[in-house]
Structure 1
Amino acid sequence: MRDLSYQIKSALFGVAIGDALGVPVEFKSRETILQKPVTDMIGYGTYNLPPGTFSDDGSLTFCLAEALSHDFDLHRIGQNFIKWRDENYWAARGELFDIGIATNQAITQLKEGINPELAGNTNTESNGNGSLMRILPLVFYIKDLPISERYEITKKVSSITHGHIRSIIACFYYLEFAREILLGKEKFGIYKKLQVEIPNFLSSLSITPSEISLFDRLLEKDISVLEENKILSSGYVLHSLEASIWCLLTTENYKEATLKAVNLGEDTDTTAAITGGLAGLLYGIEDIPKNWIELLARNEDILDLGNRLAQKMENKNID
């Protein structure tokens, strides 16, 4: 079993490198990218930034990890998000260049003093992937808790920016998948196990059945057998979750998984960040191409954050 420090670094670098791979081609269609597929870490493109530049996905993931390295405190997480937007805290190169509408609105609410659990919009239209893309560090805090507590904490952390049940279920599924990877399980075994455990748990809650049924391609079917043209890669949370699991199940290493995600087009950085988080955990940081790690902005800071979060989580387990 890999030690906690290794797993945390694998997750943090997994998210940020996937993000950075997608940044240069964000918003390009699948058809456009197909003419010149991404095969390596490139730069410039959409935002004209150097190779290895992560966006809001990486920054907000690090803001969450940074907060957890102190304690679990929703207010601290929220304050870190404000510092990121307003002071470029955990920005890749000292300047914010990408922020989602729902996340921006929620951060404004946080700044005005609203309770973090209530800051995220609960409208059906507010189901972008902004909480899913940053949620992964939470798995290290909740992994040893009962499923009901894992769900409740995930709900709270998602709701800082995205409070609708659809975003919460997406984050919950993703973290449950990540947790099973931490336990050393095989990816198809995890997929099948979650098809039993997640519907059973969600049905015990007062969630509208039609909301749960939206996840049927993951919870009832085998998404891995679908052709690429059936996988969507917009900024909609369900598309992002499905695409990330599909990329993970249909590839055999970190590089393949993240490049497959990028080449789906549209919300390339986020699809690859979400995919990269799980792929990083599954295959380990040593499976990430070394030159990608070297090119990644703030790689030494990320290593330090990983060490600090691991130390905190290990002390928490001792306590």
Structure 2
Amino acid sequence: MLNKIKGALFGFAIGDALGGTTEFLTKEAVKERYGQVREIIGGGVWRLEKGETTDDTAMTLAVGRGILKHPQNLVSAIGEEFLKWNASKPKDIGNIIQTVFEIYEGDWFEASKKAHFHYLNEKSAGNGSLMRCLPVALAYTDLEKIEEITKLQSKMTHYDALTEEACVIYNRIAFQILQGKSLGEAITSEVKGTIYEEALKGKMPSCPPDGFVVNTMEWVLYWLLNEDNFLGVVIGAANEGYDSDTVAAIAGGLAGLHFGFEELPKDYCQVLLQKHELEQLALGLYYFSKGE
């Protein structure tokens, strides 16, 4: 179990670091500038250091730390971690989350709702809560509890129901993998009968891999269903461009969960600047999930 949890977090961060180099570029621009990004090299629009990750990993760590810090008062604890991260003046914060941070006055759900209706023209279906929800599935063993907390963490910043739906489907897939199902079986069982069922046909999405949560989820499923190894998933997603850090991170989280840490390329894991934080969180979530 620890191998899987650690694999999920490191797989996520590897995808984030790879995709951070190519974020906002078109697929053609990625090819022209880099040929193909196959290593963690940094750079890109955020001028990342080699091994540096973006807001995707930062907010995932925040959710995980919040769960461990105060499981009885999750929203407040996760929110404190969000604010601590925001105070560090990070390079990259998504527009929806930035808006919620700016109007937050003590109630996350009120801020999320207000942002949706009064500041974002009722367009808060970004992928910012999907990118950070994985620790919930790693911390809890009860599916009902996983769904409940997954929805809560999403609604803290993203009011639109589409974000909540994507987060729940994603974490249900993670739950099934942790229960012993293969990646393909888990995806099939959780995607059937949803708006993402078309992904099971394996066709490349016609939408861009941008920040809209539905488009992001379609591309995540595409890479997971069409590549049979971890690097194939994250390198494929990273070289597609657009919101490549988030797509590669989200896909890398489930791929890492499926393959486990021991199967991940060690040189990619070692180059990550936050490897010790990822290791600590993995251990914390592992013991938490065992009730220790």
TM-score (norm 1): 0.83
Question: How much does 1:69 deviate?
Answer: 1.6
Q: Within 5 A, what are the aligned runs for 1:128-139?
A: 128-139=126-137
Determine the structure 2 residue equivalent to 1:169: 165
For 2:25 and 2:250, the matched residues in 1 are separated by 18
Residues 233 and 271 in structure 1, CA contact (< 8 A), matched pair in contact too: yes
- Specify the code of the residue in structure 1 equivalent to 2:123: E
Checking the alignment, whether the CA contact within 8 Å between 1:14 and 1:280 is kept in structure 2 is yes
Contact in 2 for aligned 1:244/1:271 (Cα 8 Å): yes
* Deviation (angstroms), 1:145: 3.5
Superposed counterparts of 1:94-113, under 5 Å? 96-110=90-104, 112-113=105-106
Amino acid at match of 1:30: K
- The question of whether the paired residues in 1 share the 8 Å contact of 2:204 and 2:222 is answered with no
1:16-38 per-residue CA deviation (whole Å, 9 max, x = no partner) reads 11101111111100111233121
Instruction: Indicate if the aligned counterparts of 1:117 and 1:157 stay in contact, CA closer than 8 A.
Output: no
SS of residue paired to 1:46: coil
Structure 1 equivalent of residue 85 of structure 2: 84
Deviations 1:295-319 (A, max 9, x none): 1012122212221222222226xxx
Does the 8 A contact of 2:143 with 2:175 survive in 1? no
> Which residues in structure 2 correspond to 1:112-261 (within 5 Å)?
112-114=105-107, 116-120=108-112, 121-123=115-117, 124-146=122-144, 149-196=145-192, 199=193, 216=195, 218-219=196-197, 221-227=198-204, 230-261=206-237
**Deviation of 1:222 (Å):** 4.2
- The structure-2 alpha-carbon separation of the partners of 1:302 and 1:151, relative to structure 1 and needing over 3 Å to count, comes to closer
Unaligned runs of 5+ in 1: 89-94, 200-214
Q: Residues 310 and 150 (structure 1 numbering): CA distance in 2 closer, same or farther, change over 3 Å?
A: closer
Match of 2:243 in 1: 267
Task: Give 2:64's aligned residue.
Answer: 65
Out of 8-17 and 184-193, give the one that drifted further: 184-193
Matched residue, 1:310:
286
Residue in structure 1 matched with residue 11 of structure 2 by the alignment:
14
How many Å separate the matches in 2 of 1:15 and 1:30?
21
Instruction: Give the secondary-structure state (helix, strand or coil) at the position aligned to 1:108.
Output: helix
User: Cα deviations across residues 211-243 of structure 1 (Å, max 9, x unaligned)?
Assistant: xxxx53x23x34442136x25201111111111
CA contact (8 A) 1:155 1:168 kept: yes
Distance 1:157 1:119 in 2: 13
**Take 2:94 and 2:75, find their aligned partners in 1: how far apart are those partners?**
20
Gaps of 5+ in 2: none
CA distance in 2, matches of 1:58, 1:289: 18
Distance in 2 (CA, whole Å) between partners of 1:47 and 1:222 is 31
Q: 1:76 to 1:192 in 2, by over 3 A?
A: same
Letter in 2 for 1:311: Y
Distance across 2 between alignment mates of 1:145 and 1:274: 20
Task: Determine which structure has greater relative contact order: mean sequence separation of CA pairs < 8 Å that are 6+ residues apart, divided by chain length.
Answer: 2
Q: SS of the residue aligned with 1:45?
A: coil
Q: Return the alpha-carbon distance in structure 2 between the equivalents of residues 142 and 45 of structure 1.
A: 36
Preserved CA contact (<8 Å) 2:199 2:221: no
Contact 1:235 1:267 (8 Å CA) reproduced: yes
Instruction: Answer yes or no: is the 8 Å Cα contact 1:224–1:246 preserved in 2.
Output: no
Alpha-carbon distance in 2 for matches of 1:74, 1:193? 30
Contact kept? 1:224, 1:250, Cα under 8 Å: no
**What's the counterpart of residue 23 of structure 1?**
20
User: Does the alignment pair 1:299 with 2:240?
Assistant: no
**Given that residues 118 and 159 in structure 1 are in contact (C-alpha distance below 8 angstroms), is that contact kept between their aligned partners in structure 2?**
no
CA deviation vs aligned residue, 1:230-283 (integer Å, no higher than 9, x gap): 252011111111111110110011111001111111011111111111011011
- The percent of aligned pairs where both chains have the same amino acid is 32
- What is the Cα-based RMSD across aligned positions, in Å? 1.8
Are 2:43 and 1:44 equivalent residues in the alignment?
A: yes
Read off the aligned partner of 1:138 and give its amino acid letter.
V
Distance 1:74 1:57 in 2: 18
Match of 1:54, as an amino acid?
A: T
Tell me whether 1:287 sits opposite 2:263 in the alignment: yes
Q: How far is the alpha carbon of 1:43 from its aligned partner?
A: 1.8
* Change in 2 beyond 3 A, CA 1:172/1:184: same
1: CA distance between counterparts of 2:188 and 2:19? Answer: 29
